[in-house]
Structures are given as structure tokens and as C-alpha cells.
Amino acid sequence: MLEPAFRSRLLEAYQAMPRQLRAAAQWVLDNPRDVALLTMREQARRAGVNPASMTRLAQRMGLEGYESIRDLYAERLRRGETEFSGRAEALVARRRQDGDGALAYDLAETLGRHMTALGSPATLDQTTQAAALLAKAARIHVLGYRSSYPVACHFAYVYGLAGGNVRLLDGPGGTGPDALRGSGQGDALLAVSVKPYTRAAIEVVDYAVTLGISIIAITDSVVSPLVGRAHAAVIVPTESPSFFHTMAPAFAIAEGLAAILAATAGGSALTAVRAMEHQFDMLSTHI
């Protein structure tokens, strides 16, 4: 069995798995390169499960042990399907780091890899598909809670500057979703959520689905609860050596979507930007 076939089987079996096995499976699905390169114990630590869960995952998939899964992904690397020389060089460089600069280097190196990954053909296809759906929408609502909120807010602000008909679902007393009243087919909801997924975000998305609103997601995994609800989804990495996940790749995708939409709008975006600049000048907004 080759890695693509195993991945398909894992996706099919995911929803029926116990919670610990789902966490292990999500790690495997989201980190194919590291499955081949890291030890099982290190993978279990990063997945937030015990090593026995990794073994049970392999056995549930009909394999003898977790080494069989690692062998599948190692074979993929040997066939040259995934570049790992850069990652290996980074690992060597990281070992040479010490003192106060070590963590700063680790953060910068990780973010660099994440940003490079956003230029992969798969992510570029996801981004252009999401932009095409958003460009067709009469109105765009934007949703994000907790760490995802700044990403949603940034998209709404930037695209709004270019004249986009965009509304951030935010309001005092939890009234943000009230703006969905009167929305329906022809409108879109850009939803941002990463693990641990905020329950309220999924509930609002489910409500938007009942209204016929197109769902576009920025999320972190092919098994994110947003993916099955979305008409288009852009998957971004969030792994970080910090104690908290990184939202930098999600910000980059949000900025990219706003830029594509502004370029698609053409003359109307130019008119809006000129009006924005005139207002800023009149109000002496900037020093």
C-alpha cells in the first residue's frame, strides 16, 4: 500500500475513531513529512497523545505497528515526492543554536517554512478557488473567534478599504451573528477557525448553511469541522515552537484573498481606495 491510499483510508475512518485516535490521526494527516522524520514518541508528544495511541492507530488501520506508517511516509520521501533537504538543514542549524537567540531562531525558521508551504500548488489552488467564490458573492460576512478573530478582522478591514461589501460578524453582547438576517443565496461567509475549534464558530457556520450562504474556510486541517461544511477551504499550518499556535499563515492567506478580490474588482476598487486616501487626508489620519 502506498501513502496516498493509506491517507484516503485514514480520512474515511477518522470520524468513527475515539478522541485519542482522532488526535493521532490528525497529526499524521497534517504532518506527513514529520511522520517519516521524527520518532514515534516525539510525534505522540506533538499530537498531545501517549505513544500507545500511535500504535493503536496503526493497528486500527490494519497495520502491525506505527513503524509501518512511518515506513509508508519514508518511502514517499525516497521517491522524491516531498522536499525535506531544507527541513534537514534547518534541524542541523537549530542544534547549533544556544543562548537567548535559540527560541527566536526556532520561531523564525518555523514561520519561514510555513510561509514557503503557502506557495505550494495545492495551497495556491485552494486560495484561488476560495477567492473565486468570494468574488461572486453579493455580500461577504466574516467570522472568527479568539485567536482567529484578528485574522477575520484584518480581512474585513483590508477588503473594506478596497470597497468590498464586507461585514465582520462582531458586536456587543454576542450580537454579531444578527447581521446574517436577510442573507441567503448569493452571499458568502468567510469563517476562520483552528484547533481547538470554537464551538460558537461552528454553530454560526451551521446556521449560515441553512440560509444557503456559501461557506469559505481558513482552517488548519483536512479534518477540521469547517472543511466538511465549506464550499472551499484553505488549509494553513499552525505548528509553533511557542506555547501557542501561530496565526501568521492564516493572516497571510487573509491578506492574499483581500488582494485578489481587490484586483478582481478593478476600477471600483481603485475608486474606493482613492476615496479612502482622500478621507485619510481630510482627517489627518496619519502622522
Both 158 and 71 in one domain: the answer is no
**% of the chain surpassing 70 pLDDT:** 89
Q: How far apart are CA 260 and CA 44, in angstroms?
A: 39
Both 258 and 173 in one domain: the answer is yes
Contacts of 24 (CB under 8 A, 6+ apart): 44, 47, 49, 53, 54, 56, 57
Both 126 and 184 in one domain: the answer is yes
Question: Is residue 162 included in any domain, yes or no?
Answer: yes
Which residue, 50, 78, 106, sits at the end of a domain? 78
Question: Is residue 158 included in any domain, yes or no?
Answer: yes
Mean pLDDT of 221-247: 90
Q: How far apart are CA 83 and CA 168, in angstroms?
A: 39
Residue 71 belongs to a domain with what CATH number?
Answer: 1.10.10.10
Residue 48 belongs to what domain range?
A: 3-78
Residue 259 belongs to a domain with what CATH number?
Answer: 3.40.50.10490
99 pLDDT band, cuts 50/70/90, is low
Question: Is residue 163 included in any domain, yes or no?
Answer: yes
Specify the pLDDT at position 87. 42
Q: Is the pLDDT of residue 20 over 90?
A: yes
Question: Is residue 110 included in any domain, yes or no?
Answer: no
82 pLDDT band, cuts 50/70/90, is very low
Both 226 and 158 in one domain: the answer is yes
Q: Is the pLDDT of residue 91 over 70?
A: no
Q: Can you give the pTM of this predicted structure? A: 0.74
What's the whole-number average pLDDT of the chain? 87
Q: 228 with 191: CB under 8 angstroms?
A: no
Both 125 and 73 in one domain: the answer is no
250 pLDDT band, cuts 50/70/90, is very high
Q: Is the pLDDT of residue 174 over 70?
A: yes
Specify the pLDDT at position 185. 94
Question: Is residue 71 included in any domain, yes or no?
Answer: yes
Question: Is residue 137 included in any domain, yes or no?
Answer: yes
Specify the pLDDT at position 88. 46
Both 138 and 269 in one domain: the answer is yes
Contacts of 165 (CB under 8 A, 6+ apart): 138, 139, 140
Specify the pLDDT at position 1. 60
Mean pLDDT of 216-230: 93
Question: Is residue 111 included in any domain, yes or no?
Answer: no
Both 37 and 175 in one domain: the answer is no
Which residue, 22, 57, 78, sits at the end of a domain? 78
Number of structural domains the chain divides into: 2
Q: Which of 23-32, 45-54, 96-105 has the lowest mean pLDDT?
A: 96-105
Specify the pLDDT at position 94. 47
Both 275 and 182 in one domain: the answer is yes
More confident residue, 9 or 169: 169
Mean pLDDT of 128-154: 96
SS (H, E, C) 9-27: HHHHHHCCCCHHHHHHHHH
Specify the pLDDT at position 196. 85
Question: Is residue 255 included in any domain, yes or no?
Answer: yes
Task: Among 9-13, 116-120, 215-219, 272-276, name the most confident range.
Answer: 215-219
Both 202 and 65 in one domain: the answer is no
Both 266 and 182 in one domain: the answer is yes
> What single string gives the DSSP state of each residue in 100-135?
THHHHHHHHHHHHHHHHHTTSHHHHHHHHHHHHHHH
Both 68 and 161 in one domain: the answer is no
Which residue, 78, 100, 129, sits at the end of a domain? 78
97 pLDDT band, cuts 50/70/90, is low
Both 211 and 262 in one domain: the answer is yes
Mean pLDDT of 131-150: 96
Q: 147 with 194: CB under 8 angstroms?
A: yes
